[in-house]
């Protein structure tokens, strides 16, 4: 049980007679070899290996399920104590959920990396065609992580500006020291405004009452009803602001940076933060 609970790969070997072996040979040609586990069909002079994913069956029966050649298969009734079976089933479920999350996250990151590379190449070609320094300055300043300045073609342009002593262009590439206001400061304020309205709405039940509460807060208790439509439009517009993501690919890992991620307690928003997480490629 100790090995079973710690292993990422489960192997189950089933003995088969000639008739069953023939059936499994036909399935073997149709099967897609994918998954962390191995189902081994063993006969006297032949072993067939099916790469698949084992998962516990529903209820209290100790059945192992998997997919063979696109079809669901119930493998066997395991002979474990109820305590050991529950521990094994929970471990298997947790492992499978983690794999699903990993594949989904990896797919998202690879999509973001593709979008970043496409934007970078498009900007590079536009800059080389026009020579307008504003193109590269705006490109660098749009990135809240500072990663764009590490791109080879951007670093090369920056180095050429240093050689030519174009210090005015270099200074425009960075926000002034000690200045907290950036394009993302305004964005963050807009998102916090949305969170505040959502919180009022959760407490009071309607969007109308939530916006009226915001109006009273801003005007120290007085309500200017001409402002209502403007604030409602502002809320609906800001609510569509997506989380800004930046993906970084290292030699053996991916890193994801999410700007102004919403932190919630249950359904209630309690703050905004920049979140970073890193995980290995394998």
pLDDT in tens, 125-152: 999 999 899 999 989 888 878 888 889 9
96 lies in a domain? no
Same domain, 219 and 271: yes
234 lies in a domain? yes
Cα–Cα distances in Å, from 261 out to 117, 190, 243? 23, 13, 6
pLDDT of residue 117: 93
Residue numbers of the domain that contains 160: 101-172
Task: Say how many C-beta atoms besides its own lie within 10 A of residue 146's C-beta.
Answer: 11
Low-confidence ranges of the chain (pLDDT < 70): 175-183, 220-225, 267, 269
Domain end marker among 172, 203, 222: 172
Same domain, 81 and 118: no
Same domain, 200 and 244: yes
Domain end marker among 91, 109, 128: 91
Write phi, then psi, for 230 (nearest 5 degrees).
Answer: -65, -45
Same domain, 133 and 77: no
Residue 231: Cβ-neighbour burial (10 angstroms; 0-12, 13-18, 19+): middle
Structural element, H or E, at residue 73: strand 71-77
pLDDT of residue 186: 75
187 lies in a domain? yes
pTM over 0.75: no
pLDDT of residue 157: 92
Same domain, 194 and 267: yes
Whole-number Å distance between alpha carbons of 136 and 254: 26
178 lies in a domain? no
Domain end marker among 91, 121, 142: 91
pLDDT digits (tens, 9 = 90+) for 213-266: 888 877 765 666 678 888 888 899 888 887 788 898 888 898 888 888 877 777
């Amino acid at each position: 049980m100790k090995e079973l609970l710690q292993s990422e790969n489960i192997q189950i070997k089933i003995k088969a007679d000639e008739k069953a072996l023939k059936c499994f040979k036909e399935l073997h040609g149709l099967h897609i070899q994918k998954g962390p586990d191995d189902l081994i069909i063993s006969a006297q002079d032949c072993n067939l290996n099916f790469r698949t994913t084992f998962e516990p069956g529903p209820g209290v029966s100790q059945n192992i399920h998997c997919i063979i050649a696109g079809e669901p298969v119930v493998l066997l009734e395991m002979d474990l104590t109820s305590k050991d079976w529950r521990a094994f089933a929970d471990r298997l479920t947790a492992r499978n959920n983690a794999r699903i999350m990993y594949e989904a996250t990896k797919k998202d990151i690879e999509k973001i990396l593709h979008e970043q590379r496409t934007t970078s190449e498009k900007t590079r070609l536009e800059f080389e065609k026009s020579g307008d320094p504003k193109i590269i300055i705006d490109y660098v300043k749009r990135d809240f992580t500072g990663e764009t300045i590490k791109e080879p073609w951007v670093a090369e342009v920056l180095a050429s500006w240093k050689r030519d002593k174009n210090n005015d262009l270099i200074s425009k590439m960075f926000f002034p020291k000690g200045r907290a206001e950036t394009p993302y400061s305004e964005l963050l304020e807009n998102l916090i405004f949305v969170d505040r309205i959502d919180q009022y709405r959760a407490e009071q039940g309607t969007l109308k009452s939530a916006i009226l509460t915001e109006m009273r807060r801003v005007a120290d208790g007085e309500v200017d009803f001409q402002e209502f439509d403007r604030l409602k439009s502002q809320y609906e517009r800001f609510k569509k602001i997506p989380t800004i993501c930046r993906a970084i690919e290292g030699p053996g890992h991916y890193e994801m940076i999410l700007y102004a991620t919403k932190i919630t307690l249950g359904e209630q928003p309690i703050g905004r933060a920049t979140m970073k997480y890193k995980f290995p490629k394998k």
